Amino acid sequence: MIFDAPVLQQTSEPAESAAAPSWLSRYAGPTLGLLLPLTLALGWELLVWLGWSNGRLVPPPSRVFATIADLARSVELGRHIAATLWRVGLGFAFGVVAGTLLGAISGYWSLARRLLDPTVQALRAIPSLAWVPLFILWLGIFETSKIALIAVGVFFPVYLGVMGAILIVDRKTSRSVAPSVSPDLP
């Protein structure tokens, strides 16, 4: 069944006026968010330029950007970025693997949860900054301690997420689906 509804004629003026607030509101939020940091940076640049501060402790933004540009022209910045990405990738991988394995074991097996979870929860309460001196003492100041710190930061959210997700699954539902997936599953 088709209904013919009367078509309302609109002029182009309301459409343009309706588009203007959406364009303004789309860019007003990020622009306002940048206003304070840019004002502070320009103010600091002005204080150093006027000589009220020497800029040794906190250099002005112009000097920071000049240093970044110099490092970008040399190979040094790329080398440091690659080393950081490698460190983060390795730490993330170790943290995800350990968190997924222990979270799955703790979520599925109640005895493992009763054994592991109190210790993991106690270790989770330790701030990340407190791990730094311990890792330096145990693993040295080089790459291993940095990778371990990243892995610890990744481990706890992954562990909690996997364990919580497995605990939420109804056992009857998982057992009813298991024979259709694989007859060997319990």
Q: What is the pLDDT along the chain (186 residues), one digit of tens a residue?
A: 555 655 555 555 555 555 556 766 777 777 888 889 999 999 999 999 998 888 888 899 999 999 989 988 988 888 999 999 999 999 999 999 999 999 999 999 999 999 999 999 999 999 989 999 999 999 999 999 999 999 999 999 999 999 999 999 877 676 666 566 555 555
Identity of the residue numbered 175: R
21 is a domain residue = no
Looking at the domain assignment, is residue 22 inside a domain?
no
HSE-CB at 145 with a 13 A cutoff on CA atoms is 15
User: Is 20 inside a domain boundary?
Assistant: no
Measured between alpha carbons, how far is 150 from 98 in angstroms, rounded to an integer?
Answer: 12
The upper half-sphere exposure of residue 55, i.e. CA atoms within 13 Å in the direction of its Cβ, equals: 16
Residues 6+ apart with CB under 8 A from 155: 95, 98, 99
Tokens of 73: 């022209």
Same domain as 144, residue 110 = yes
In which residue are the tokens 């003026």 written?
Answer: 13
Domain edge (last residue) among 48, 74, 100:
74
Range of the domain at 52: 34-74
Structure tokens at 165: 């997700």
Quick one: how far is CA 37 from the chain centroid?
Answer: 22
